Amino acid sequence: MPLLKNKIVDSFLIIFFAVCFISAQVSVREYKIKAAFLFNFTHFVEWPANSFSTSQSPLVIGILGPNPFGNHLEELIAGESVEKHPLLIKHFSTTDEVDNCHILFINIKDKKTLLSTIEKLKGKNILTVSDVDQFSKLGGMIRLYTKDDKVNIEINLDATKEEDIVVSSKLLKLSEIVKTNK
Amino acid sequence: MKLFITIIRLHHSWHFFLKIFKYKGFYFSSSIVAFLLCQSIVGYAQEDSLLSAANLKKLSLQDLMNMEVTSVSKRPEKLNEVSSAIQVITNEDIRSSGVKTLPEALKLVANLQVAQVNSSQWAISARGFNNVLANKLLVLIDGRTVYTPLYAGVFWDVQNVLLEDVERIEVISGPGGTLWGANAVNGVINIITKKAGETQGLLVEGAYGNAMPGMGSIRYGGKIKENISYRVYGTGFKMESLVDTTGALANDQWAMGLGGFRFDWDASVKDNISLQSNISYSRPNPNGATSAMIASGNNALTSWNHKISDNSDFKLQIYYDHTWRDFGNKFTEDLKTYDIDWQNRFQLAERHTITYGLGFRQMNHKVTNLELFGFFPANKTLYLYNGFLQYDVIAIKERLRFTIGSKIEHNVYTQFQYQPNVRLTFTPTKKQTIWGAVSRAVRNPARIDTEFNVYLNPTSPLILGSDTFRSETVIAYELGWRFQPAKKFTSSLSTFYNVYDNLRSVEPGPSPSNYPIVLGNGVKGETYGVELALAYQPTNWWNLRGGYTFLKKELVVKPTSKDLNKASVESNDPMHQFLIQSTVNLPGNFQFGTVMRYVDALPKPKVPSYMGLDLRLAWKLDKVLELSVVGQNLLYDRHREFIASSRIREIERSIYGKITCHF
């Protein structure tokens, strides 16, 4: 009997792990779509002239915090450039590391850390994007949120103006405009 | 990289198949897993092309904003609600009816057979086979199974909840309607209490009446942080005895106290964690003995629900349950249950969903045997391993849904049992759904079937359980129709045809004495019926709900059996049942509730048909105070609902008054 019990436990463990593995594949879809949004933003946003050291220096998309995109961002931008600036992905684990970056996807959930991060990034002319709850109301620039199973855009125009970032009217038309909570 | 992973997956699954092919009972489920894995490879490939970098790059912002993040279909209703015979009563239905206890509340559900046997005992079942030891129903309170392995049934005299804090009670009749659970042969009752965040503030209530000479509850709910809420409660009641056939009090009073707490933590937008614990103490006296039985219990349950996306989530649940019962004649039962369950639902590809679960339950069961009556061995540990897998696909513009799945269980008596089911749901218009299902379910042996012995004297056995007792089986064919012709009118019609085999029989022993009697599996047969449920709101101050149930049983003794019960399986069921509940909100903050219930005669032992009428009038003085008066069983001085033994008990007309304060 003990032998049988072991076999049963084994089979259950195998099913369990096999299926867990399969399930991990699925939450990927959401981030593939969000990666495509980040890619699109590079075409609808203008940075101040001093953000680029030369006319052909890379346009950097950075990810701050744990990376939810896998390697999908790298796949999307491979070989692409915007107005002669080639696209480049960088991964940052702390806010202090962030430098020479044009779009930063912030994957930090804790409100306090988020606020201090947004504060620290001021003056660097970085377009901040996130899908964390309340992001734009806390001073972040673009928030991607899911409504009715589709991705929508929320833009905090005051925050973008403070950093001299110009958002194309084509993007503004499709977004909801919000203000920072005082 | 992907190819490598796919190869490893195939390698693992091949080894898996080699192992499990040795087990007979696993053939069906292994073929499902094979199908599943193949499907996942195909599905994965499909998903890939749609969301490839090359494709996504080409899409405009507008296109991207039109892409569904998780799936093609949104499913606000749970899968099993659409294609099964489910009936639900809400907190409001329970309150406006004036019912006093959980078993009484179950009378409000038209697809259940509910009969009060005496002051503290009920016979409750679905789709027939009702008796005090009814064993074909699975009952869950917030996910915790409440049943005794003694006879695979429920001791209703210890199951209670603070009714004010019940969110809803779902009753699914039929086997395939549940994703899992042992003994859910004829149905599942799911009692769901409100989250702590919804029961905030102080609640104090007290009631007094001739059938209930005392009831009081107190509950307090608060918040520790913005996202952690809790409640603490205590409640107790005394029920008067019922009367015997001459109208004299039968001395079967019942008193019970119950208390506990619950914490709910909304850890994130996607996570919530719940912890609850309850303790109970009950003094039922069904036999009218000089001192009542004692039944006490305590339990603790924790669960973690995580939402991955709109169509994928998982749940982990762990609970511990300890019950102790002294039957008053020195026979005692002590049961400790440890249970861990995992459930996960996710999308394989657009329109394809997989749900699976794994669970393990250990029950340490100890009895104190009497000299001539007992379970052998006195102490037994039962292990139950259980898993299920279900695949769901939507086709033809979301009009058609196909589900196939199987439960697999391993129990100590009959080893592997598999319970496959197949369902098809067709939604031709937004207002109509037609569904059909074929399912197989089993009722596993309980200790009473296998290890129960009664002796006349130490050398003469009277009744012997048999370790060759097999699981009872049913194959259920169901067809249903759900129709919502108007926003305020819903109707649901379910029909079923159940084919049973290996039902419990009582076989005589060898001649000349014909003792010892042995329990066997000598009965088979069919049952069929119809369940209709309606809900209608004629005006916004008047709510009506009701139902009708028809049941016919045709059971026969198998040729190899000499069943002394002549295929009755000790069950006693009415052919027709009818219920109407009305709630009217009157001006001046009055509410008037009516419950009218008709139950057809029971065949054997004969119980005449009866009509129940309960009325409740409530007045909300202000936000804090509510006064109510409830009259129950108003049509007869006294009436009987079920006969379980020579002690026939009848329920008298009764009235009680209640004060409820919400601070």
Q: Mean pLDDT of all residues in chain A? A: 82
Cβ–Cβ contact B15 with A under 8 A: yes
Note the pLDDT of residue A28: 64
- What tokens appear for B277 in the block? 């614990």
Pick the most confident of A20-24, A26-30, B61-65, B98-102: B98-102
- Give B-chain residues touching A19 at CB under 8 angstroms: 344, 354, 356
Give residue A78's pLDDT band: very low, low, confident or very high (50, 70, 90).
Answer: confident
A17, A146, A151 member nearest B64 (Cβ): A151
- Asked if the model's pLDDT at residue A63 lies above 60, the reply is yes
Cβ–Cβ contact B31 with A under 8 A: no
Give residue B153's pLDDT band: very low, low, confident or very high (50, 70, 90).
Answer: confident
- Give B-chain residues touching A150 at CB under 8 angstroms: 65-69
Contact A75 B53 (CB under 8 A): yes
Contact A12 B385 (CB under 8 A): yes
Complex ipTM value: 0.77
Note the pLDDT of residue B26: 43
B53, B66, B348 member nearest A72 (Cβ): B53
Planar angle of CA B82, B86, B88, nearest 5 degrees: 115
Q: At residue B444, what is the residue type?
A: N
Cβ–Cβ contact B21 with A under 8 A: no
Pairs of CB atoms within 8 A across A/B = 119
A7, A21, A36 member nearest B19 (Cβ): A7
Q: Mean pLDDT of all residues in chain B? A: 86
Contact B308 A32 (CB under 8 A): no
Note the pLDDT of residue B38: 44
Q: Find the mean pLDDT for residues A116-143.
A: 91
- DSSP class of residue A111 equals H
Q: Which of B10, B346, B382, B415 to mutate to test the interface with A (most CBs of A within 10 A)?
A: B346
Contact B62 A174 (CB under 8 A): yes
Closest alpha carbon to B411 in B469, B371, B498 = B469
Contact B51 A133 (CB under 8 A): no
Give residue B22's pLDDT band: very low, low, confident or very high (50, 70, 90).
Answer: very low
Give me the sign of the Cα torsion angle B49, B50, B52, B54: positive
B52 versus B174: the higher-pLDDT residue is B174
- Give B-chain residues touching A82 at CB under 8 angstroms: none
Phi, psi of B28 (to 5 degrees): -60, -50
* Tens digit of each residue's pLDDT (9 = 90 or more) over B263-293: 999 888 788 899 999 999 999 998 888 888 9
In the three-class reduction of DSSP (H, G, I as helix; E, B as strand; rest coil), residue A155 is classed as strand
Across the beta sheet with A81-82, the strand order is: A81-82, A85-92, A59-64, A103-106, A127-130, A142-147, A150-156, A176-178
Cis amide bond preceding B485, omega within 30: no
Give residue B42's pLDDT band: very low, low, confident or very high (50, 70, 90).
Answer: very low
- Give A-chain residues touching B310 at CB under 8 angstroms: 146, 149
Give residue B176's pLDDT band: very low, low, confident or very high (50, 70, 90).
Answer: low
Note the pLDDT of residue B44: 42
The two beta strands, A150-156 and B122-126, are: unpaired
Contact B47 A21 (CB under 8 A): no
Tell me the residue ranges of DSSP E strands in B91-214: 112-116, 122-126, 137-141, 144-145, 166-173, 187-193, 201-209
Note the pLDDT of residue A137: 87
pTM exceeds 0.80 = no
Q: Chain B residue with minimal CA distance to A172?
A: B61
* Tens digit of each residue's pLDDT (9 = 90 or more) over B596-655: 999 999 998 999 999 999 999 999 988 889 999 999 999 999 999 999 888 899 999 999
Closest chain B C-alpha to A98 CA, distance in angstroms: 26
CB B174, CB B494: distance < 8 Å: yes
- Asked if the model's pLDDT at residue B323 lies above 50, the reply is yes
Q: Find the mean pLDDT for residues B550-567.
A: 92
CB B175, CB B419: distance < 8 Å: yes
Planar angle of CA B421, B501, B493, nearest 5 degrees: 50
Contact A19 B15 (CB under 8 A): no
Pairwise CA distance, residues B517 & B561, whole Å:
12
Contact A133 B269 (CB under 8 A): yes
* Tens digit of each residue's pLDDT (9 = 90 or more) over B428-461: 887 888 999 999 998 888 888 888 888 888 888 8
Residue with tokens 């699914």: B172
Q: Find the mean pLDDT for residues A95-105.
A: 90
A14, A75, A76 member nearest B12 (Cβ): A14
- Asked if the model's pLDDT at residue B43 lies above 50, the reply is no
CA dihedral B368, B373, B379, B385 (to 10 degrees): -130
Cβ–Cβ contact B382 with A under 8 A: no
Pairwise CA distance, residues B276 & B263, whole Å:
6
* Tens digit of each residue's pLDDT (9 = 90 or more) over A6-55: 555 455 455 445 444 444 443 567 888 899 999 999 999 999 988 888 88
Note the pLDDT of residue B62: 77
- Give B-chain residues touching A36 at CB under 8 angstroms: 56-57, 59, 64
- What tokens appear for B608 in the block? 């005449």
CB B61, CB A171: distance < 8 Å: yes
Give residue B578's pLDDT band: very low, low, confident or very high (50, 70, 90).
Answer: very high
- What tokens appear for B560 in the block? 């190899």
CB A76, CB A36: distance < 8 Å: yes
Q: Find the mean pLDDT for residues B351-369.
A: 90
Q: Which of A26, A45, A129 to mutate to test the interface with B (most CBs of B within 10 A)?
A: A26
Q: Chain A residue with minimal CA distance to B390?
A: A19
Pairwise CA distance, residues B657 & B661, whole Å:
14
Closest alpha carbon to A141 in B65, A131, B161, A109 = A131
Note the pLDDT of residue B598: 96
B13, B59, B387 member nearest A18 (Cβ): B13
- Asked if the model's pLDDT at residue B468 lies above 50, the reply is yes
Cβ–Cβ contact B167 with A under 8 A: no
- DSSP class of residue B158 equals G
Give residue B69's pLDDT band: very low, low, confident or very high (50, 70, 90).
Answer: low
